């Protein structure tokens, strides 16, 4: 029996317009056989969580390069839990200083992928850690 395809929401929270990385990751996950929805720019945490629930995804991947990750990433986790979607695997990427990573992980972000991460590494991480 074939395994269910992994469904991923790639999201751009906040006002930051840098979406090169988000789109490249989205394409790589799609090429790896996952079903990928990309939100587009300027999504509030509420919009991201509602899209995640509506699209019934297993994974949310967020990208921020503006420095607003400390506020917005934890807010998404909090709202996902409130909606009973706390089992979704949430990962992040962008320009995120290493010293901020422990607090983000503490808040419930499973992994942070910084600049220079090979696409393969993200694909494998998701395949290994998704709760399907």
Partner 1 sequence: MFREDQLEKIAAKKESWTAKLEATKKKRPERQSQFATDSGVDINTVYTPLDLKDMDYERDLGLPGEYPFTRGVQPNLYRGRLWTMRQYAGFGSAEETNQRFRYLLEQGQTGLSCAFDLPTQIGYDSDHPLAQGEIGKVGVAIDSLADMETLFDQIPLGKVSTSMTINAPAGVLLAMYIACAEKQGFDKSQINGTIQNDVIKEYICRGTYILPPEPSMRLISNIFEYCSKEIPQWNTISISGYHIREAGATAAQEIAFTLADGIAYVDAAIKAGLDVDTFGPRLSFFFNAHLNFFEEIAKFRAARRVWAKVMKERFGAKNPRSWTLRFHTQTAGVSLTAQQPMVNIMRTAFEALSAVLGGTQSLHTNSYDEALALPCDESVMIALRTQQVIGYEIGVCDLVDPLGGSYYIESLTNALEEKAWEYIGKIDALGGADKAIEYMQKEIHNSAYQYQLAIDNKKKTVIGVNSFIMQDEEKPKGLLKVDLSVGERQVAKLAKVKAGRDNAKVESLLKDIREAAQSNANLIPVFIDAVKEYVTLGEICGVLRDVFGEYKQQIVF
Measured from the CB of residue 131, what is the shortest distance to partner 1 in angstroms?
Answer: 26
When asked if residue 107 is in the footprint of partner 1 (CB under 8 A), the reply is: no
When asked if residue 70 is in the footprint of partner 1 (CB under 8 A), the reply is: yes
Whole-number Å distance between alpha carbons of 124 and 37: 19
Within 10 angstroms of residue 7's Cβ, the number of other Cβ atoms is: 18
When asked if residue 33 is in the footprint of partner 1 (CB under 8 A), the reply is: no
When asked if residue 15 is in the footprint of partner 1 (CB under 8 A), the reply is: yes
When asked if residue 72 is in the footprint of partner 1 (CB under 8 A), the reply is: yes
**Integer CA distances (angstroms), 46 to 23, 32, 75, 80, 126, in order:** 21, 28, 9, 9, 23
Q: Which of 8, 38, 52, 112 binds partner 1 (CB under 8 A)?
A: 38
Nearer to partner 1, 31 or 87 (CB): 31
When asked if residue 83 is in the footprint of partner 1 (CB under 8 A), the reply is: no
Q: Which of 54, 120, 124, 129 binds partner 1 (CB under 8 A)?
A: 120
Q: In what order do the strands lie in the sheet with 59-64?
A: 35-38, 7-11, 59-64, 89-94, 111-113
When asked if residue 39 is in the footprint of partner 1 (CB under 8 A), the reply is: yes
When asked if residue 63 is in the footprint of partner 1 (CB under 8 A), the reply is: no
Report residue 3: phi and psi, to 5°: -75, 150
Measured from the CB of residue 83, what is the shortest distance to partner 1 in angstroms?
Answer: 20
Crossing angle for the helix pair 45-54 and 69-82, nearest 10 degrees? 40
């Amino acid at each position: 029996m074939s395994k269910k395809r992994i469904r991923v929401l790639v999201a751009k929270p906040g006002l930051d317009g840098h979406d090169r990385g988000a789109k490249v990751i989205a394409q790589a996950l799609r090429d790896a056989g996952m079903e990928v929805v990309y939100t587009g720019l300027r999504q509030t945490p509420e919009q991201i969580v509602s899209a995640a629930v509506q699209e019934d995804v297993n994974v949310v991947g967020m990208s921020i390069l503006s420095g607003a990750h400390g506020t917005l990433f934890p807010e998404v986790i909090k709202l996902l839990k409130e909606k009973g979607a706390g089992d979704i695997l949430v990962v992040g990427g962008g320009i995120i200083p290493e010293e901020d990573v422990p607090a983000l992980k503490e808040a419930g972000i499973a992994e942070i992928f910084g600049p220079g991460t090979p696409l393969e590494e993200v694909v494998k991480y998701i395949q290994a850690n998704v709760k399907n």
